[in-house]
């Protein structure tokens, strides 16, 4: 969040002047403190209303003329990342800093009154004026909505397609179909039991964790099978090992996994429990700088309806998927696992005269149109019991790439723990 704070001040001189006093330098890294000093000097000399296209040139000349090429490149990259994050999270930071500034001002007024200055009538008027001024300064209404004024078309395109604003799928089948995963995306992956959906999604989560930088992470919420089993499988997925290979390499597996995560032990965060609540998820998202959230399974998250959203509880299901949508927009993209109806079982489909193993949107368990309405993309996985090395993927909704429904028969690489849906030997797009 520190870079997002820098980005907020880069984007607004007025916000810098109003809120710089409530930023506690002692809590910031030396890099962030240095960037804020540069911003202060820039505004003091140029009087610009924001850091314009000349900002980096100005800093290079006036603040950092002795920087080496490598050091300057790192600084430039940090400034550009800050600008992008300031756009994505700026309103939340402005709101938090404004509240802190108001609290400090209110505390000062109360302290002055307690010391006998001013009298009660004047104090009452000051409080009233303070509240009215706070309302006028408010950047975000209490319902957490805000006007969208991100800048020029070029600014928005730069943010959307910036390399640091997207995560690529491990499976080229999914990458080609959906495109990269970005902020605000809500993706649902569903299948009948024992089809490999949990392993597939876990493999994708681990792969995306490898793409994180700095203090970023990918979080995987597990309320299904045993937490230790999922944890071991995440190591298999990261290292490309079978379970037997993991056993043979047990003494060096931890070091190898850490290397795959760029030396950061918290790049992949596994949260396991049978009573996981929406409140717990929100708390963990505040604790970590999360790039993507995976939930297996989302409808079992508690705290939004009595006991979680069971099949047939449309109201509870709607609340939990609305919660996921909020997380996707305010924090990071969400990938949710869901079940398919019993009619989606391979045995039931095999009984048909002309079996079709591609699942359809209406086969999402207990949903009617709840999940279909909230999700940006829905990927359904079918299986033919007579050829279990393949999976039948139906991309039945795809707002992420604005394409038609797609159907692909993909090779399953199951033994590496990743459960990749890949096309190295067989890949057939069907209409």
Residue 428: pLDDT band with limits 50, 70, 90: very low
Say which residues have a Cβ less than 8 Å from residue 379's Cβ, sequence separation at least 6: 174, 177, 178, 187, 188, 189, 190, 393, 394, 395, 396
Say if residue 44's pLDDT is above 70. Answer: yes
- State the pLDDT at residue 15: 78
Q: Report whether the peptide linkage leading into residue 318 is cis, meaning its omega lies within 30 degrees of zero.
A: no
Kindly report, residue by residue over 158-184, the tens digit of the pLDDT: 767 766 678 999 888 888 889 999 999
Residue in the structure block whose two tokens are 């690529």: 168
The structure tokens listed for 421 are 């849906």
Mean pLDDT of 127-147: 51
Report CA 342 to chain centroid distance, whole Å.
32
Residue in the structure block whose two tokens are 């990938």: 335
Say if residue 392's pLDDT is above 50. Answer: yes
Is pLDDT larger for residue 54 or for residue 336?
336
Residue 390: pLDDT band with limits 50, 70, 90: confident
pTM score: 0.64
- State the pLDDT at residue 61: 92
Kindly report, residue by residue over 179-231, the tens digit of the pLDDT: 999 999 999 999 988 888 898 899 999 999 999 998 899 999 999 889 999 99
- State the pLDDT at residue 117: 59
Kindly report, residue by residue over 294-306, the tens digit of the pLDDT: 999 899 988 775 5
Going by DSSP bridges, is the β-strand pair 268-272/166-167 parallel, antiparallel, or unpaired?
A: unpaired
The structure tokens listed for 172 are 């080229």
- State the pLDDT at residue 64: 92
Is there a contact between 250 and 236 (Cβ–Cβ < 8 Å)? no
Residue 93: pLDDT band with limits 50, 70, 90: low
- State the pLDDT at residue 431: 37
**Beta partners for 397?**
378
Q: What is the mean pLDDT of the chain?
A: 80
| DSSP-based three-state secondary structure for 168 | coil
Is there a contact between 187 and 386 (Cβ–Cβ < 8 Å)? no
- State the pLDDT at residue 185: 95
């Amino acid at each position: 969040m520190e870079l997002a704070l820098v980005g907020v001040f880069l984007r607004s001189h007025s916000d810098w002047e109003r809120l710089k006093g409530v930023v506690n330098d002692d809590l910031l890294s030396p890099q962030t403190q240095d960037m804020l000093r540069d911003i202060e000097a820039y505004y003091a000399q140029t009087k610009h209303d924001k850091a314009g296209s000349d900002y980096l040139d100005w800093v290079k000349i006036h603040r950092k003329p002795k920087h080496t090429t490598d050091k300057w490149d790192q600084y430039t990259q940090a400034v550009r990342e800050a600008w992008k994050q300031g756009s994505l999270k700026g309103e939340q930071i402005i709101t938090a800093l404004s509240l802190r500034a108001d609290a400090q001002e209110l505390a000062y007024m109360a302290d002055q009154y307690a010391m006998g200055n001013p009298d009660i009538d004047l104090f009452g008027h000051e409080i009233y004026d303070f509240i009215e001024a706070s309302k006028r300064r408010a950047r975000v209404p209490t319902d957490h909505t805000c006007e969208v004024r991100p800048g020029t078309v070029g600014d928005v395109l730069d943010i959307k397609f910036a390399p640091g604003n997207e995560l690529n799928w491990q499976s080229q089948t999914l990458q080609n179909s959906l495109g990269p995963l970005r902020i605000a995306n809500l993706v649902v992956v569903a299948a009948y039991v024992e089809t490999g959906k949990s392993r597939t999604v876990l493999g994708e989560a681990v792969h995306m964790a490898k793409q994180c930088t700095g203090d970023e992470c990918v979080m995987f919420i597990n309320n299904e099978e045993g937490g230790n089993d999922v944890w071991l499988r995440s190591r298999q997925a990261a290292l490309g090992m079978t379970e037997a290979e993991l056993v043979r390499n047990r003494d060096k597996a931890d070091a190898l996994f850490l290397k795959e995560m760029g030396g950061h032990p918290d790049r992949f965060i596994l949260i396991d429990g049978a009573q996981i609540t929406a409140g717990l998820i929100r708390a963990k998202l505040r604790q970590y700088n999360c790039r993507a959230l995976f939930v297996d399974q989302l409808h079992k998250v508690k705290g939004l309806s009595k006991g979680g959203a069971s099949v047939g509880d449309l109201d509870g299901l709607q609340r939990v998927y609305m919660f996921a949508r909020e997380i996707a927009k305010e924090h990071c993209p969400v990938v949710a696992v869901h079940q398919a109806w019993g009619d989606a079982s391979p045995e039931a489909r095999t009984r048909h005269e002309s079996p079709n193993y591609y699942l359809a949107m209406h086969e999402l368990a207990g949903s009617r149109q709840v999940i279909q309405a909230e999700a940006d993309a829905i990927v359904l996985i079918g299986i033919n019991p007579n050829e279990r090395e393949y999976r039948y993927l139906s991309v039945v909704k795809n707002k992420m790439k604005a394409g038609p429904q797609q159907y692909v028969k993909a090779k399953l690489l199951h033994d590496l723990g990743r459960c990749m849906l890949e096309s190295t030997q067989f890949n057939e797009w069907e209409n």
